[in-house]
Amino acid sequence: MRPLLVRGGRVIDPSQALDAPAQVLLVNGRVEALGPDLAPPDGAQVLDATGLVVCPGFVDLHTHLREPGEEEKETIATGALAGVRGGFTTLCAMPNTLPPIDTPALVEAVRRRAEEAGLARVLPIACVSKGRQGKELAELADLARAGAVAFSDDGSPVANAFLMRTALHYSTLTGLPIINHLEEPALARGVAHEGWVASRLGLPGIPPQAEESMAGRDIALCALTGGRLHLAHISTAGTAQMVRWAKERGLPVTAEATPHHLCLTDEWLLGTRGEGSPFAPLSPSAYDTHCKVNPPLRTRFHRDALQRALREGVIDAIATDHAPHTPVDKACTFQEASFGISGLETAFALCYTILVAQEGIPLLRLLEALTVGPARVLGEKGKGLGSLRPGSAGDLVVLDLRKRWTVDPSRFASKGKNTPLAGVTLQGMVVATVVGGRVVYDARSSPTGGRG
C-alpha cells in the first residue's frame, strides 16, 4: 500500500488536545507521523485538506446493520458505506439481527462480511442472553474470544435484574462492557415521550422514568459487581444526573447519547420542527413516523440537560443508534410504525449545526465524543482507535465546517431512508474518509459528487 500524506489541514485530535495546522503521514495502515513540515515520501499519495479540518475517524458504539436476516433494511456492506460517508471508520454492530449474534460462529460471520466489504471497521457486539430472550446468559467468554467487543440485548433491555447482575459479574472477567438498552418494559408501552405533545396528538406516552428506573438499577448492580456498565442512548435529565453521580463515586459506568436526542425534541412530532405550541392548529405533517424512535424524542428540558452532560464529559460518546428501515416500516400509522432513525450520514452535520454552531459546545469536545471518547468505552478493544498519535490506526476524516447542504435521503448510501431531517439544511460536511491508510470515500471524486 502506498504511503498517504494528508496535507494542508487544521488537525484536531482530542486524544492529545491538539488543534493546529499539521500534516498527517500514514504508512502501512497506521499513523506514522504528525507534524507541521512533513514531506511526502517517494511514491506517496497526497490527500489535500487545505481549508479543511482533519481529525481521527469517528467511532460509533451503536449501529444496527441488520445483517443477517433483514437485508432489505441494510446490509453490512451498505451500512459500512453509509458509515464512511458519515465519517465513521469504526462501527460497533448491534446483535439484534435474525438470528441474533449469540454464538462465536455468528460473531466470526459478521467480522468476515465486514472484511469483504472493506470499508469501515465493523466490531461485533454479541448478545447478553441466548437468543436475546432475556432468560439464560449467552456464552460470554466464548463470544469474547471470538472477537465480540461488548455485550448487549439492545432493542430490548436486560429486564431481569439477576441476569444483569450475572452479566456484569462476567464483565469483570472478560473486561468487556455490558451495554443496556434502558427501558422498564412495564412502563414503556407508548410510542412518544409522555407529555403535552403526546397528549395533543393522542399518542400513548413513555415516561422518562421508564429509562431512569432501569438506569438506577443498573448503576446499583454496577456498584455491587464492579462490572463495566455502558448505558445506551440516554435520553433524560434524570439518567444524565445518575451517570454524573456514578462517575463521581468512581464506578465503571459510561454513557452515550444520540445526535437526535441531543438536538431534537418531541415537538418535531407536531410537524413544526421544534417550534411547537400546545395551542397551534396541527400541521399537516404532524405524526411523521420518521420522528418515532426509542427512546422517544423528549422535551427541551431533557435535551438541554443532555447537552450540559455532553459539555461536561458526563456523556462519553455520541452514538448514532443508526436504525435503518424500509419505507413500508414507516408508511403506516404512528402507532404501527417501527422505531428508529437512519443516522450515520447526518450525525456529524446535525451535531455540528446544533451543538457547536448554535449552542457553542467546543468543537474539540464534540470531536472527542465522536472519536477517543467512544474508543475509551471499548477499553483494550478500542486501543489505537479515535486518535492520530503515531502508531494508531490510520483512520481519519476530513471535514468542511463551512459547507451547508440539504438532507436528501434518496442520496443516502444506507438502505434506510428514514430520517426526520429530509429537506433540512445542515452545516458541516464529511469530505473524505480514510480507513487503515486507504481513502475509502472522497466526496470530491465520488460518482455522485458528494452531497453538496
Site residues for Zn ion per CB under 5 A = 154, 181
User: Which is nearer to Zn ion, 22 or 297 (by Cβ)?
Assistant: 297
What's the rounded Cα separation, in Å, for the pair 132 and 137? 9
What's the rounded Cα separation, in Å, for the pair 362 and 365? 5
Query: Nearest CA to 405 among 374, 362, 376, 448?
Result: 448
Q: Cα angle vertex 130, ends 124, 134, to 5°?
A: 105
Q: Return the residue nearest Zn ion (CB atom).
A: 181
Judged on CB neighbours under 10 Å (0-12, 13-18, 19+), 277 is exposed
Query: Nearest CA to 80 among 442, 446, 441?
Result: 441
Residue given cell 487503515 in the structure block: 436
**Is the bond leading into 295 cis (omega within 30 degrees of zero)?**
yes
Kindly state the cell numbers that stand for 449.
459528487
User: Which is nearer to Zn ion, 181 or 217 (by Cβ)?
Assistant: 181
User: Which is nearer to Zn ion, 57 or 124 (by Cβ)?
Assistant: 124
**CB atoms inside a 10 Å sphere around CB 333:** 9
Strands 425-435 and 396-406: antiparallel
Query: Nearest CA to 111 among 80, 156, 134, 141?
Result: 80
Return the bridge partners of 18, or none: 13
Set 102, 321, 395, 400: catalytic member: 321
**CB atoms inside a 10 Å sphere around CB 59:** 30
Q: Is 321 a catalytic residue?
A: yes
**Minimum distance of Zn ion from residue 232's CB (angstroms):** 5
E strands along 213-354, which residues? 229-231, 253-257, 317-318
What's the rounded Cα separation, in Å, for the pair 351 and 421? 12
Would you say 189 and 207 are in contact if contact means Cβ atoms under 8 Å apart? no
Kindly state the cell numbers that stand for 215.
438506569
User: Which is nearer to Zn ion, 53 or 158 (by Cβ)?
Assistant: 158
**Minimum distance of Zn ion from residue 179's CB (angstroms):** 9
**Minimum distance of Zn ion from residue 371's CB (angstroms):** 22
Q: Which helix (H) or strand (E) holds 440?
A: strand 438-442
Contacts of 177 (CB under 8 A, 6+ apart): 150, 151, 171, 228, 229, 230, 254, 377, 378, 379
Our measurement of the distance from residue 415's CA atom to the centroid of its chain's CA atoms, rounded to an integer in Å, reads: 17
Return the bridge partners of 400, or none: 429
User: Alpha-carbon torsion 339, 342, 348, 349, what sign?
Assistant: negative
**Minimum distance of Zn ion from residue 181's CB (angstroms):** 4
Q: Is 243 helix (H, G, I), strand (E, B) or coil?
A: helix
Contacts of 447 (CB under 8 A, 6+ apart): none
Which residues are annotated as catalytic? 321
